[in-house]
Amino acid sequence: MKLSRKIFLLSAVACGMMVAHDAAHAAHHAPGDPADEKARQVLAHMSPEDKMSLLFSVDGGGFNGSVAPPGGLGSAAYLRAPAGSGLPDLQISDAGLGIRNPAHIRKDGAAVSLPSGLSTASSWDMDMAREAGAMIGREAWQSGFNVLLGGGADLTRDPRGGRNFEYAGEDPLQTGRMVGSTIAGVQSQHVISTLKHYAMNDLETSRMTMSADIDPVAMRESDLLGFEIALETGHPGSVMCSYNRVNDLYACENPYLLNTTLKQDWHYPGFVMSDWGATHSSARAALAGLDQESAGDHADARPYFQALLAADVKAGRVPQSRIDDMAQRIVRSLFAQGLVDHPPRRAPLDVVTDTLVAQRDEEEGAVLLRNEGNVLPLSPTARIAVIGGHADVGVISGGGSSQVDPIGGEVVKGPGKKDWPGDPVYFPSSPLKAMRAEAPSAHITYDPGTNIAAAVRAARAADVAVVYATQFTFEGMDAPNMHLDGNADALIAAVAAANPRTVVVMETGDPVLMPWNSSVAGVLEAWFPGSGGGTAIARLLFGKVAPSGHLTMTFPQAESQLAHPDIAGVTANNVFEMQFHTDQELVYDEGSDVGYRWFDRNHLKPLYPFGYGLTYTTFATDELAAGYHHKQLTVTFNVRNTGTRPGVDVPQVYVGLPDGGARRLGGWQRVTLAPGESRQVSVQVDPRLLAHFDGRHDRWAIPSGRFRVWLGTSAVDDSQQVSVHLPARTLAP
Ligand code: BGC
pLDDT in the model for residue 466: 99
Q: What is the pLDDT of residues 432-483, one digit of tens each?
A: 999 999 999 999 999 999 999 999 999 999 999 999 999 999 999 999 899 9
Query: Which ligand 1 atom is nearest residue 102's CA?
Result: 12
Ligand 1 within 6 A of CB of 401: yes
Measured CA angle at 722 (ends 721, 724), to 5 deg: 145
Q: Taking residues 128-147, what's their average pLDDT?
A: 98
Percent of the chain residues past pLDDT 70, beyond the cut:
95
Contact 272, 258 (CB under 8 A): yes
Q: Is the pLDDT of residue 133 over 80?
A: yes
Ligand 1 within 6 A of CB of 241: no
Q: Is the pLDDT of residue 27 over 80?
A: no
Query: Which ligand 1 atom is nearest residue 295's CA?
Result: 5
Ligand 1: centre distance to CA 67 (Å): 17
Ligand 1 within 6 A of CB of 198: no
Work out the pLDDT band at 31, boundaries 50, 70, 90: low
pLDDT in the model for residue 302: 97
Average pLDDT of every residue of the chain? 94
Q: What are phi and psi of 139, to 5 degrees?
A: -65, -35
| Buried/exposed 409-421: b ≥16 CB within 10 Å, e otherwise | ebbeeeeeeeeeb
Strand 245-246 and strand 211-213: pairing? Answer: parallel
Query: Which ligand 1 atom is nearest residue 243's CA?
Result: 8
Ligand 1: centre distance to CA 170 (Å): 21
Ligand 1: centre distance to CA 100 (Å): 11
The 3-state DSSP class for residue 251 equals helix
d(C-alpha 597, C-alpha 73), whole Å: 45
Query: Which ligand 1 atom is nearest residue 166's CA?
Result: 9
Q: What is the pLDDT of residues 326-341, one digit of tens each?
A: 999 999 999 999 999 9
Q: Is the pLDDT of residue 689 over 80?
A: yes
Reference 126, options 233, 225, 228; nearest CA is 233
Q: What is the pLDDT of residues 540-582, one digit of tens each?
A: 999 999 999 999 999 999 999 999 998 877 776 777 777 677 7
Higher pLDDT, 417 or 359: 359
pLDDT in the model for residue 573: 73
List strand residue ranges (DSSP E) for 482-571, in order.
502-508, 522-525
Query: Which ligand 1 atom is nearest residue 100's CA?
Result: 12
Q: Is the pLDDT of residue 227 over 80?
A: yes
Ligand 1: centre distance to CA 404 (Å): 13
Query: Which ligand 1 atom is nearest residue 149's CA?
Result: 10
Measured CA angle at 175 (ends 652, 709), to 5 deg: 25
Higher pLDDT, 419 or 728: 728
Q: Is the pLDDT of residue 265 over 50?
A: yes
Residues 6+ apart with CB under 8 A from 661: 593, 601
Q: Taking residues 257-265, what's their average pLDDT?
A: 98
> Mean pLDDT lowest for which of 62-66, 243-247, 304-308, 655-659?
62-66
pLDDT in the model for residue 593: 98
Ligand 1: centre distance to CA 610 (Å): 28
What residue's CA is closest to ligand 1, atom 8? 275
Q: How far is CA 578 from CA 36, 197, 423, 590, 717, in A?
A: 44, 20, 20, 23, 38
Contact 98, 116 (CB under 8 A): no
Query: Which ligand 1 atom is nearest residue 242's CA?
Result: 8
What residue's CA is closest to ligand 1, atom 3? 401
Ligand 1: centre distance to CA 713 (Å): 36
Contact 698, 709 (CB under 8 A): no
Contact 485, 472 (CB under 8 A): yes
Ligand 1: centre distance to CA 274 (Å): 9
Ligand 1: centre distance to CA 382 (Å): 46
pLDDT in the model for residue 415: 86
H-helix segments, 368-487: 431-438, 452-460
Which of 79, 475, 580 to probe ligand 1 with, by most ligand atoms within 8 A of CB? 475
Strand 383-387 and strand 443-447: pairing? Answer: parallel
Ligand 1 within 6 A of CB of 76: yes
d(C-alpha 149, C-alpha 99), whole Å: 10
Q: Taking residues 586-614, what's their average pLDDT?
A: 97
Ligand 1 within 6 A of CB of 95: yes
Which of 163, 275, 292, 420 to probe ligand 1 with, by most ligand atoms within 8 A of CB? 275
pLDDT in the model for residue 30: 60
Q: Taking residues 641-661, what's their average pLDDT?
A: 97
The 3-state DSSP class for residue 355 equals helix
Ligand 1: centre distance to CA 648 (Å): 36
Helix (H) or strand (E) holding 587, with range, is: strand 585-587
pLDDT in the model for residue 7: 43
Q: Taking residues 43-60, what's their average pLDDT?
A: 97
Which of 90, 136, 149, 420 to probe ligand 1 with, by most ligand atoms within 8 A of CB? 149
Q: Taking residues 652-670, what's their average pLDDT?
A: 97
Residues 6+ apart with CB under 8 A from 172: 155, 221, 222, 223, 225, 226, 229
pLDDT in the model for residue 186: 98
Ligand 1 within 6 A of CB of 156: no
Q: How far is CA 9 from CA 211, 220, 587, 593, in A?
A: 12, 15, 12, 20
Q: Is the pLDDT of residue 411 over 60?
A: yes
pLDDT in the model for residue 2: 46
Q: Is the pLDDT of residue 317 over 80?
A: yes
Work out the pLDDT band at 221, boundaries 50, 70, 90: very high
**Three-state secondary structure string covering 487-503:** CHHHHHHHHHHHCCCEE
Ligand 1: centre distance to CA 40 (Å): 30
d(C-alpha 149, C-alpha 145), whole Å: 11
d(C-alpha 668, C-alpha 665), whole Å: 8
pLDDT in the model for residue 63: 80
Ligand 1 within 6 A of CB of 474: no
What residue's CA is closest to ligand 1, atom 5? 76
- First and final C-alpha spacing in the chain: 31
Query: Which ligand 1 atom is nearest residue 152's CA?
Result: 9
Ligand 1 within 6 A of CB of 149: yes
Query: Which ligand 1 atom is nearest residue 95's CA?
Result: 10
Q: What are phi and psi of 541, to 5 degrees?
A: -65, -35
Ligand 1: centre distance to CA 276 (Å): 6
pLDDT in the model for residue 162: 96
Q: Is the pLDDT of residue 594 over 90?
A: yes
pLDDT in the model for residue 418: 81
Q: How far is CA 361 from CA 142, 355, 458, in A?
A: 21, 10, 32
Ligand 1: centre distance to CA 238 (Å): 14
Q: Taking residues 595-610, what's their average pLDDT?
A: 98
